């Protein structure tokens, strides 16, 4: 599944071609993805895209009349085409621009979403979200306060979008490894020093992944079709049985909250 860095890389990739440009028309070939695509999305036709923002894993294409909200789901991707090429089987939505470019949404599993919010209305999918991990709102004090008395594992805690958005499975594994914290620890057991270390590593790992273009495992590629390169930098994720890059001990794997979890039994305590 595309995680926060992949979504941010998509935002950075499509923005130069769309921001400040006028939408000519919209083509919706599949009326339902994860949810029904609202007819109101057609209101974007004729509008200039003023900004493209990201909130959690949602991309927000803002215009003067409303905002198109895009979620890539399990396997969705966005491409910029220089011309309106014939759509493939899994090409579900196109935005045709007056400058000749086409924003094409492809989603083999159809678990993504295209939604619409009128100006001044906050869509329900954006409610109850925690702070952005790369913002100044995410601090060790904030995390320690939220975690006080909590028995849920620290890995599940940092992956809870109500606590902090966008720390998906890959990046939770990597951040916990580089901060030396075992993912099975109760979140309420971490000291302030450990929270300071973990928050710093979450920010570092996510920022570096964005710089590297995201993590291509199966489905994700950038808006220009190039893969992300952070997969080459993974230290523990997907490396069960391989030697720890720090101490040489074999990496262990177990399920936490139904998600594959990887850690070093010596380096992470």
pLDDT digits (tens, 9 = 90+) for 119-154: 999 999 999 999 999 999 999 999 999 999 999 999
User: What are residue 23's DSSP bridge partners?
Assistant: 97
Whether residue 220 is found in the same domain as residue 155: yes
User: What's the pTM?
Assistant: 0.88
Q: What is the CATH classification number for the domain harbouring 222?
A: 1.10.8.50
- Binding site for DNA, by residue number, is 90, 109, 150
Token pair for 229 = 């390169």
Among 126, 153, 179, the domain-final residue is 126
99 vs 9: CA distance, rounded Å:
22
Catalytic hit among 110, 146, 185, 259: 259
Q: Provide the pLDDT confidence category of residue 246 given band limits of 50, 70 and 90.
A: very high
Containing structural domain, residue 60: 4-126
Q: What is the CATH classification number for the domain harbouring 13?
A: 3.20.190.10
Catalytic hit among 11, 54, 57, 197: 57
Tokens 């306060």 map to which residue? 145
pLDDT digits (tens, 9 = 90+) for 160-207: 999 999 999 999 999 999 999 999 999 999 999 999 999 999 999 999
**Which phi and psi angles does 193 have, rounded to 5°?**
-60, -40
Whether residue 69 is found in the same domain as residue 148: no
259 vs 269: CA distance, rounded Å:
20
**Which phi and psi angles does 58 have, rounded to 5°?**
-100, 135
Whether residue 122 is found in the same domain as residue 153: no
Residue 135 domain flag:
no
């Amino acid at each position: 599944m595309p995680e926060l860095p992949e979504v941010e890389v998509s935002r950075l990739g499509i923005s130069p071609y769309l921001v400040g440009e006028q939408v000519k028309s919209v083509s919706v070939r599949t009326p339902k993805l994860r949810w029904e695509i609202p007819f109101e999305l057609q209101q974007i036709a004729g509008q200039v895209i003023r900004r493209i923002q990201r909130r959690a894993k949602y991309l927000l294409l803002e215009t003067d009349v409303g905002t198109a909200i895009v979620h890539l789901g399990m396997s969705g991707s966005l491409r910029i085409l220089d011309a309106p090429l014939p759509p493939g089987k899994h090409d579900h939505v196109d935005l045709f621009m007056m400058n000749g470019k086409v924003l094409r949404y492809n989603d083999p599993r159809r678990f993504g979403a295209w939604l619409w919010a009128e100006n001044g209305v906050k869509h329900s999918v954006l409610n109850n979200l925690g702070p952005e991990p790369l913002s100044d709102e995410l601090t060790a004090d904030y995390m320690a306060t939220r975690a006080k008395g909590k028995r849920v594992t620290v890995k599940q805690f940092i992956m809870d979008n109500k606590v902090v958005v966008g720390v998906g499975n890959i990046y939770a594994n990597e951040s916990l490894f580089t901060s030396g914290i075992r993912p099975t620890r109760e979140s309420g057991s971490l000291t302030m020093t450990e929270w300071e270390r973990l928050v710093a590593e979450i920010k570092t790992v996510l920022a570096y992944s964005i710089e590297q273009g995201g993590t291509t495992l199966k489905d994700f590629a950038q808006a220009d079709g190039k893969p992300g390169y952070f997969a080459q930098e993974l230290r523990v994720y997907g490396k069960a049985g391989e030697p720890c890059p720090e101490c040489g001990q074999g990496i262990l794997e177990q399920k936490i909250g139904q998600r594959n979890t990887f850690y070093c039994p010596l380096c992470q305590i």
